[in-house]
Amino acid sequence: MRLFILGSAAGGGFPQWNCLCHVCRLHWSGDPRVTARSQSSIAATADGVHWLLLNASPDLRAQIMASPPLMPSCGADDAARRASPIAAVLVTNGDVDHVAGLLTLREKQAFDLYGTEGVLGVIADNPVYSVMDPACVTTRPVQMEQPFEPVPGLTVEIFPVPGKVPLYLERGEIDVGAEGDMTVGVRLSAGGRTAFYVPGCAFVPEHLAARVAGADVLLFDGTVFVDDEMQRAGVGAKTGRRMGHMPMTGEGGSIDAFDGRDVGDRVYIHINNTNPVLIEGSDERRAVEAAGWRVAHDGMEIVP
Ligand code: MLT
Ligand code: MN
Ligand code: ZN
């Protein structure tokens, strides 16, 4: 199995187009300690030929341009005029950073689109997504904990994680932390190796910590370093938890939640532009590394 981090930042990317928070400021002023990151997506393959895209980011076109394994291969077939290594897409929720890239995949390219009934329903209800021609794109709802093989040799299973509906569907009282079919985590396995991909998670219940035990790789929600980071940065009123994203640190943070669990490679993904772990050499970066975590960057490749 090979995993390719296409976009390691949260919604908005790093830097965010309009942001002057402390971390974005470093980027705008050319500070070499920070590196731009695009929005949340990874790709996975078992055979090195057929790739599963996990989430389709608004930055997908640029991500493909930066990723040779995902480019159409000229050597493949002289007669081919439409041929992408991306054979399937799985969306883990309906957030803009995870579904807007589906619009990039509209050019008469055959692929399978996987997700829960709920998330695929949100996509189907939005007429702009009808640009994905049903003659080319097969929508395949998947059930929780029912393994499927979207690309040859790669076994995939989804499971509910605490989350919420997409921001644009929030009305009235929001049940943040609900375990339903609007936010899922993904288990990937091939050749006896196992990786988990959980880009959004409001907290870690015991059953989730138990589920990842024994994994070779855990790619996990690294949106914020502390829960009230957006407030402290002066860019928003919401806490990480209110957005459906648990913090790395503090009580009930992800470092604590997985501490002492049998997980090989721990990697933070979906990192918000306000998160100081984006700064090489910062105290916060050093703290997560000392706790056994890596901070993903675009173009990072992981072979579990
Ligand atoms: C999130 O992860 O909370 C969303 O991507 C937020 C958004 O849609 O901007
Ligand atoms: Mn997001
Ligand atoms: Zn910022």
Structural contact between residues 200 and 92, judged by C-beta atoms closer than 8 angstroms: yes
State whether the beta carbon of 96 lies less than 6 angstroms from ligand 1: yes
Written as six digits, the tokens of 23 are: 């971390």
User: Cα of 108 to ligand 2 centre, how many Å?
Assistant: 27
User: What distance in Å separates the CA atoms of residue 105 and residue 123, rounded to the nearest whole number?
Assistant: 14
pLDDT number for residue 80: 82
Q: Which residues pair with 219 in a beta bridge?
A: 197, 267
Specify the range with the lowest mean pLDDT, choosing from 76-80, 106-110, 259-263: 76-80
Which residues neighbour ligand 3 (ion) by CB within 5 Å? 19, 21, 24, 273
Atom of ligand 1 nearest to the CA of 244: 3
Residue 79 has pLDDT above 90, yes or no: no
- Asked whether 227 and 240 are in contact (CB, 8 A), the reply is yes
Sign of the CA dihedral running 278, 184, 11, 168: negative
Give the pairing of strands 184-190 and 193-198. antiparallel
Q: What pLDDT digit, counting tens, does each position of 220-279 carry?
A: 999 999 999 999 999 999 999 999 999 999 999 999 999 999 999 999 999 999 999 999
List helix spans (H) across 162-243: 206-211, 229-233
Distance CA 203, CA 238 (A): 16
Q: pLDDT band for 97, please (50, 70, 90 cuts).
A: very high
Give the separation between CA 138 and CA 105, rounded to whole angstroms: 13
Residues ≥6 apart with Cβ < 8 Å to 216? 193, 194, 195, 264, 265, 304
Ligand 1 atom nearest to 168, measured from its CA: 8
CA 96 to ligand 1: nearest atom: 8
pLDDT top residue among 3 and 73? 3
Ligand nearest to the backbone CA of 174 = 1
Phi, psi of 154 (to 5 degrees): -110, 115
DSSP 141: E
pLDDT for residue 252: 95
Hey, CA dihedral for 217, 12, 142, 149, is it positive or negative? negative
Q: Do 87 and 47 touch, CB atoms closer than 8 A?
A: no
* CATH number assigned to the domain comprising residue 111: 3.60.15.10
Check if 56 has its Cβ closer than 6 Å to any atom of ligand 1.
no
Dihedral angle sign, alpha carbons of residues 294, 154, 177, 126? positive
Domain containing 28: what range? Answer: 2-302
Answer yes or no: is the C-beta of 95 below 6 A from any ligand 1 atom: yes
Q: How confident is the model at residue 30 (pLDDT cuts 50, 70, 90)?
A: very high
Spacing of C-alpha 188 from chain mean position: 13
> In angstroms, rounded to a whole number, what is the distance separating the alpha carbons of residues 241 and 245?
5
Can you tell me the distance from the alpha carbon of 297 to that of 285, in angstroms, rounded to the nearest whole number? Answer: 13
State the pLDDT at residue 76.
66
Q: What is the mean pLDDT of the chain?
A: 97
Confidence band of 132 (pLDDT split at 50, 70, 90): very high
Give the model confidence (pLDDT) of 157-213 as tens digits.
Answer: 999 999 999 999 999 999 999 999 999 999 999 999 999 999 999 999 999 999 999
* Token representation of residue 24: 């974005």
Number of compact structural domains in the chain? 1
Are 263 and 213 within 8 A, CB to CB?
yes
Report strand pairing: 215-221 vs 263-269: parallel
pLDDT at 271: 98
* pLDDT bracket for residue 216 (50, 70, 90): very high
